[in-house]
Amino acid sequence: MLKPKAISQVLKQATTGGVKATLLLNSEGSPLAFVSDSDYDARVYAAIASNIWSTFDKNGKNLMREDNLKFMLVECEKGNVAITMVSNMLLCLVATPDVELGILKAKTDALAKHLEEPFQRVTAYTQA
């Protein structure tokens, strides 16, 4: 099974160099694990990020020939948010504006790749 402490440690490794928060959440917006300075901020990021993702995913399926959403980048005045899917969960990274969008995407992709395989196993186990 997955060790919650190990997940937090992996997320912590990504929360460096201007990345303020790293969250793993389910599709309903409940955080499963997160690393952030503030618990309140993390819950706000989780709720809004999951809603943004699900709305665009639905929109994409309707308009873009049943195409699946793979990655999202939300650019705000005081920070950027990257969201991607890992197994049936969402991975969300929040960074300051001085973090280049390319490095933010690279970090998100690397983390998603790292978590994909163990999470696939958990998904298979829960579905069995």
Partner 1 sequence: MEGLKAVTVTDRDGVILIKSVSNDVSQRVLEPALSTTFAVISDQASKLGLKKNKSIVSLFGIFQIVQFNHTPLITTLVADSDSNTGVLLDLGDELKEITDIISSALSDRQVI
**28 contacts partner 1 (rule: CB under 8 A):** no
Q: Which of these ranges, 7-15, 28-36, 94-102, 110-118, lies near partner 1 under the rule CB under 8 A?
A: 94-102
Toward partner 1, which CB reaches closer, 68 or 127?
A: 68
**What 3-state DSSP class applies to 81?**
strand
Q: Which of these ranges, 3-11, 25-33, 55-63, 119-127, lies near partner 1 under the rule CB under 8 A?
A: 55-63
Q: At closest approach, how far in Å is the CB of 59 from partner 1?
A: 5
**117 contacts partner 1 (rule: CB under 8 A):** no
Measured distance CA(103)–CA(6) in Å, rounded: 24
Figure out which of the listed residues 3, 5, 78, 128 binds partner 1, where binding follows CB under 8 A: 78
Helix (H) or strand (E) holding 61: helix 39-63
The answer to whether 32 and 8 are in contact (CB under 8 A) is no
Q: At closest approach, how far in Å is the CB of 77 from partner 1?
A: 4
Toward partner 1, which CB reaches closer, 7 or 34?
A: 34
Say which DSSP state 68 is in: P
The terminus-to-terminus CA distance of the chain in angstroms comes to 14
Measured distance CA(56)–CA(49) in Å, rounded: 11
| CA nearest to 96, candidates 82, 110, 116, 111 | 82
In the complex, the residues that contact partner 1 under the rule CB under 8 A are: 41, 44-45, 48, 51-52, 55-56, 59-60, 62-65, 67-81, 94, 101-102
